[in-house]
Chain A
Amino acid sequence: MSDTIYSINGPVVTVANTRSFSMMEMVFVGEKELMGEVISMTDEKTVIQVYESTTGLKVGEPVKGSGTLLSAQLGPGMLRNIFDGIERPLREIEAKQGAFIQAGEHIDALDGEKKWDVTVTVKVGDMVEGGTVFATTPETSLIVHKCMVPPNIKGKVIRVADDGAYSVNASIITIEDDDGQHIDLTMAQRWPIRAPRPVKQRKALSIPLITGQRVVDTLFPIAKGGAAAIPGGFGAGKTMMQHQLAKWCDADIIVYVGCGERGNEMTQVLEEFSELIDPKSGKPLLDRTVLIANTSNMPVAAREASIYTGVAIAEYYRDMGYHVAMMADSTSRWAEALREISGRLEEMPAEEGFPAYLPSRIAQFYERAGYVETLNGNEASVTLIGAVSPAGGDFSEPVTQNTKRFVRCFWALDKSLAYARHYPSVNWNQSYSEYKDDLNRWFRKNVAADFISVRDTLSRILHEENELNEIVKLIGADVLPEDQKLTLEIAKLIRVGFLQQNAFHAEDTYVPLEKQYKMAKLILYLQNQCKPLIAKHIPVSLIAATGIFDKLVKIKYEIKNSEIAKLDDYNRLIDEALASVH
């Protein structure tokens, strides 16, 4: 007897009295074969969440199992592409359906027609196991796609195809496993999105992900393989910051997941990334990017899946030996999707209506970040950066709080900074990075021996300013002693001249570490040189009148990234300016 729909409630559909499905199995619902997933089972009732609109569905329509878990198709052709939350290619959907997305479309993630230029890298008789690279193909101008033996397969190669052009579904090699079974391997493989892909071992984090953003790299660095959260109310600049990181961070591959966010933003990413040129390789940024767009008005269950689809793709590229960074904008929308589905299932709610399993789901997601030795012996990483959109900008809500427990880098965006158009609006008092200590060695070795002390001094001055501001609020800045006034001036210089960074300025949008370090150094040099003058009772206002503070503020625009040596002249400028003060 075939299984049929028993009840329909929004995206949740149930089937009565059946034993034909397994937990988390992918199923096809109704005449239109809408994609869905089994999320709970009892003797009487099997509950399915449907990834597409259920308008028009009828009780009694058939439900078919697929026999596999909800999985992603992985292979060449993912880069430069844009998918929805369950990895359907949006460009192909557009070609078939026009500008509006209709339900019930089945298109494979990868184009089965396209021929790839394949070089086979194993020969007959080789022993291969999960992770072994058996063929390569240039996927884009930047990235060589390495086709790997799926993790759970092992055996002896008994046939290899000649080098040449093949489609993703063509058999490239055949292997014989221990039981004598013959297995054909193609360039594409499937992987259940909710399961982490296996690795040989996890390694300690010790290399920073360089982003070119001063407030991140210098003050709150993130490690390759780490996890970070960007919380902020609306208009605080979360998306802008995600875009900046996706554009400029030194990962090999970017997976950008637009999860329950605006449609126009995804269009913008798509346009911008095709035009923008990666400064290191001279190739379009899109060549290293996979986009997943499940905008806020697309089905909510697919939004829940989009995060996992993204991280499965990220892990797949990691297994090839690449450093991957995944941006998820925004994980709050994902959590809300969980809440919405949980509500439909009439589960007992915990805080603010979110299900009790919210923390464990968040933990499972962020734990998929890591710096690893892959099955084929390469070092590679997945870095996860999730935006969080707390309701009312209040960081005490459950998603922010639970995220905080499972990430070690927290870039808190501040609405009042954003109001004053101080971007990136990372609040230096609330943010932190626990990776700092892990990365000290790298910074000392690769940037400067005193990099750590420069950073700590910057933080200390900002912290002092924070305390002084409490006093200033009560009695005004005029009554402070001159040395404290100097601290305020220097702190202002750090805020405006260093932390503030203009994403729209050609030179300032990305700043190499060396320039970051030298800029910070100059600010501290100025402070040190001012101190003796202050001791001689020269007022800060006289020093400011020389315009030296303004000059340092404008360094970020005036010194090009290619002319960092010019920064050394500024020591002299500072000396001259201060010498003119009596």
Chain B
Amino acid sequence: MSVQYLGLNELNGSLVALDHVQGISNEEMVSIECKDGTTRNGRVVYLEADKAMVQVFEGSSGLSLTNTKTRFLGHPMELACSKEMLGRTFNGAGRPIDGAGEVYADKFLDINGSPINPVSRRYPRNCITTGISAIDGLNSLIRGQKLPIFSGSGLPHDKLAAQIVRQAKLAGDDEQAFGVVFGAMGVKHDVAEYFKRSFEETGVMERVVMFVNLANDPIIERTLTPLCALTAAEYLAFEHNMHILVILTDMTSYCEALREFSSSKGEIPGRKGYPGYLYSNLATIYERAGMIEGASGSVTQIPILTMPNDDITHPVPDLTGYITEGQIVLDRSLDANGIYPPIGVLSSLSRLMKDGIGEGLTRKDHQDVANQLFACYAAVQDARSLASVIGEDELSDMDKQYLKFGDLFEHVFIGQGFKRRSINQTLNLGWALLSQLPIEALDRLDPALIKENYHPTQGKRIIELEENGGQ
């Protein structure tokens, strides 16, 4: 039986201090029994001589200096893991909230995880077909990758994430080995409901583990949510060899929770008030994706974050972009034009794409088509900005062709709606669009490749087919 300490010595925000404690270890879990019989959980964050500073997950409101009994549990924060987690819903700190009782634990795992040894990583090479052209064709998602969606308020990032879950499932080689871990941090109740409903409709609910911290739940729990979600994901992927897709939304809320907590501790702030260690902290989350030697499972992460004021240089998207392997950026002007999914392909990037596509993986000409589409679409932007100054009529013939290409590309290629396209369909459509440009515009392609695939009339037919099918 461990010692109970009566009362507290200091209370400040979510931090409480206890004096005259012995044998406490750093990051140890703490349980605080309140006067009304409820217990709160906390974690040791600072130790000095016989004084311990404890972060209380549920906040300190209602606690007083005298009405509590505190116990130190002797181990760091752990999550009870077992395969039974699938289909269950937990709160941000990993406690079941679906009324189905505790999980019978197969293993208790430290939620902080441990860094994967770089030599034990297997380099991700297997493309996940999402059925979305703008992703598969131009910014391929690879199994074991961390590819965030940079979005803004009001943009359909939730729809997109749900669509990826729905369609990526079909491409899985082994139905049994597929699972989703969903971590919601500070999201609105209806957003969490939307995901739940869409998982149920797709029939994947029994393969989903949900960790939900709603917008009005305690912020300390919010800082634990992704850790719990990833611990569950690692357990399922590396102990049970499942392919786990982790969706974390919204990382901006997570970072704000971190900021709130940091400032209550009186730490020196970095950019925009976020703590100086935000990069390292985000890295410990995002780096928990990948594949390792000795296990056939994988953890693929799709974190979603909303860019405050659509500003990609804001610290949260900025630091995220430095850690993740690319990003999918949603574009407000595409959205305003009714294009779904509104993926801004030029600012999006998948760093692992080059190694996950090509002969034997997707198709031999994949990289070439993608490069050329990027280059031509970049030229479209130049033509557009020129047109906005001197008027469309004054443009050169070439620039006019580019404008036409740009519209087709956005409406047909990107704006595919909720359909699913195979890689072949995506690439053929890419060639069809490129064939609408004069042959000189294709400066990134091997002449032999152009000869084989450049068919303006046939291309037109494919495009028309797509346009009609899309309506």
Contact = CB atoms under 8 A, between A and B. Distances in A.
Interface string A54-87: 1111111000000000000000000000100000
A419 interface: yes
Interface string A346-361: 1001001100000000
Contacts of B144: 264
Closest 8 CB pairs of A and B: A392-B313, A296-B283, A234-B321, A420-B378, A7-B48, A99-B120, A297-B287, A100-B114
Interface in A354-398: 389, 391-394
A6 B47 CA distance: 8
B446 interface: yes
Interface stretch (B19-27, B405-413, B420-428): B19-27
Contacts of B267: 343
A346 B116 CA distance: 31
A473 B118 contact: no
A476 B394 contact: yes
Nearest to A60: B23
A550 B115 contact: no
A477 interface: yes
Interface string B1-40: 0000000000000000000000111111000000000000
Contacts of A235: 321, 326-327, 349, 351
A343 B443 contact: no
Contacts of B24: 58-59
Given A420-B375, A476-B395, A55 B279 contact: no
Interface string A247-271: 0000000000010101110111011
Contacts of B390: 475-476
Interface residues of A, number: 75
Interface string A543-558: 0000100100110010
B389 A550 contact: no
6 contacts: A54-B26, A97-B117, A264-B145, A392-B313, A392-B315, A420-B378
B367 A271 contact: no
A101 interface: yes
A58 B25 contact: yes
Contacts of A262: 287, 323, 325
B115 A100 contact: yes
Interface of A: 6-9, 16, 53-60, 82, 90-91, 93-94, 97-102, 233-235, 258, 260, 262-264, 266-268, 270-271, 293, 295-298, 300, 333, 336-337, 339-340, 343, 346, 349, 352-353, 389, 391-394, 419-421, 472-478, 496, 504, 547, 550, 553-554, 557
Interface string B298-334: 0000000000000001110011011101110000000
B270 to A, nearest CB: 4
Given A56-B76, A343-B267, A420-B378, A90 B323 contact: no
Contacts of A557: 446
Contact of A90 (B76, B110, B117, B354): B117
B276 interface: yes
A121 B261 CA distance: 63
Contacts of B271: 352-353, 391
A553 B445 CA distance: 11
Interface string B33-68: 000000000000011111000000000000000000
Given A60-B23, A100-B117, A233-B321, 12 more contacts: A9-B46, A53-B112, A54-B27, A59-B24, A97-B117, A297-B283, A339-B276, A343-B268, A389-B322, A476-B390, A550-B440, A557-B446
Contacts of B86: none
B284 A297 contact: yes
Contacts of B123: 264, 267-268, 271
Nearest to A496: B443
Given A8-B26, A298-B115, A391-B318, A473 B396 contact: no
A8 B46 contact: yes
Given A262-B287, A478-B394, A340 B119 contact: no
A262 B124 CA distance: 13
A260 B283 contact: yes
B113 interface: yes
B346 interface: yes
A267 B122 contact: yes
Contacts of A59: 24, 47-50
Interface of B: 23-28, 46-50, 76, 110, 112-124, 144-145, 238, 267-271, 275-277, 279-280, 283-284, 286-288, 290, 292-295, 313-315, 318-319, 321-323, 325-327, 346-347, 349, 351-352, 354-355, 367, 371, 374-375, 378, 385-386, 389-390, 394-396, 440, 443-444, 446-447
A263 B389 contact: no
Contacts of B351: 235
A419 B345 CA distance: 9
B118 A293 contact: yes
Contact of B118 (A54, A82, A339, A472): A82
B27 to A, nearest CB: 4
B288 A297 contact: yes
B231 to A, nearest CB: 12
A297 B284 CA distance: 5
Contacts of A554: 447
B117 A56 contact: no
Contacts of B48: 6-8, 59
A333 B279 contact: yes
B280 A478 contact: no
Contact of B318 (A82, A234, A260, A298): A234
A298 to B, nearest CB: 5
Given A293-B118, A421-B374, A477 B443 contact: no
A53 B76 CA distance: 12
Contacts of B447: 554
Contacts of B117: 90, 93-94, 97, 99-101
A250 to B, nearest CB: 25
B277 A340 contact: yes
A424 B433 CA distance: 27
B387 to A, nearest CB: 9
Contacts of A98: 120, 294
Contact of A392 (B26, B284, B318): B318
Nearest to A472: B386
A44 to B, nearest CB: 12
Nearest to A59: B47
Contacts of A296: 279-280, 283-284, 286-287, 323
Contacts of A233: 318, 321
A264 B113 contact: no
Contacts of B119: 82, 90-91, 94, 267, 270
A260 B124 CA distance: 20
B268 A295 contact: no
Nearest to B313: A392
Contacts of A258: 118
B105 to A, nearest CB: 19
Contacts of B385: 473
Nearest to B323: A296
Contact of B47 (A7, A263, A349): A7
B279 A56 contact: no
Given A94-B120, A389-B322, A352 B270 contact: yes
A349 B269 CA distance: 10
Contacts of A16: 49
A473 B389 contact: yes
Contacts of A473: 385-386, 389
Contact of B325 (A264, A337, A352, A391): A264
Contacts of A100: 113-117, 120
Contacts of A99: 116-117, 120-121, 238, 292-295
Contacts of A352: 270-271
A58 B50 CA distance: 10
B388 to A, nearest CB: 10
B101 to A, nearest CB: 30
Given A7-B46, A267-B118, A478 B396 contact: yes
A65 B390 CA distance: 73
